[in-house]
Amino acid sequence: MGCCSSSETPKKEEAARQPQSHQSFEMHNIDTLNYVPEDAVARIRDPKRLVTQVHIVACSVLETGGNHWVISLQTTTGGEEESAVRLEIRPGAYPGRDGYIGRLDVIHSSFEMMTRHHHKLVTIPPTTPGHCVAEWLDAIVAAGNHRYEFSREGRGCTGWVRDQFYLFVETGLLPPGWEQRVEHALTSAWVDGVLQGPWPVTQGRYLRRRKRMRGGKTANRS
């Protein structure tokens, strides 16, 4: 019995000295939603800030090929110029199991500024009018889709954007019928809005078990 006790104690002490994983430490201590500017939280989540259009946007051409993708929510409060809230997932500062844990930037700016150097490849109206920006953000958080790890190569924004499109369809925020156009856009490479040819969708992984929002297929596992 003494031998058993002495062997267990070092194991426990060794386990206590092991660094905590990204799931046991970082994800419980890091807010992966980053509002830009920092004082814009109330403006972005204003119940009167309604989404009028959803844009699937191809941004910069990456050095390794393909595009950086974001979702732009065109918004209005009824009493101001139309503005936009960009949902942009990008590698953050904290390493995960394979790549870096994503940071979801929620960026508020004028609509003209948001789209000046970006190309809106698919524009979709909400299923019904009257849904505020906070509802779209809350849908992402409720699904756990704000907790995302990029690949070892730092890729994965395309897969994240595609998953949010299907999430919005599943939750009724966006209507069905746009799948073919979205898939065509996201599975292609673009330069200044001009089609360059097919390009594979890059996918990171979500930091919990989840189901892909189409066809009932199981997606990335935690």
Is residue 44 pLDDT above 50, yes or no? yes
- Are 73 and 57 a contacting pair, CB within 8 Å? no
d(CA 183, CA 207): 24
Q: Record the tokens describing residue 40, joined without a space.
A: 């814009």
- Are 161 and 71 a contacting pair, CB within 8 Å? yes
**Pairing state between β 205-206 and 50-61:** unpaired
Q: Per residue in 27-37, pLDDT tens?
A: 555 678 999 99
Residue 94 Cα distances to 32, 105, 150, 153, 159, angstroms: 10, 15, 11, 15, 20
Which H helix or E strand runs over 189? strand 188-191
Q: Per residue in 164-192, pLDDT tens?
A: 999 999 999 999 999 999 999 999 999 98
The model's pTM is 0.81
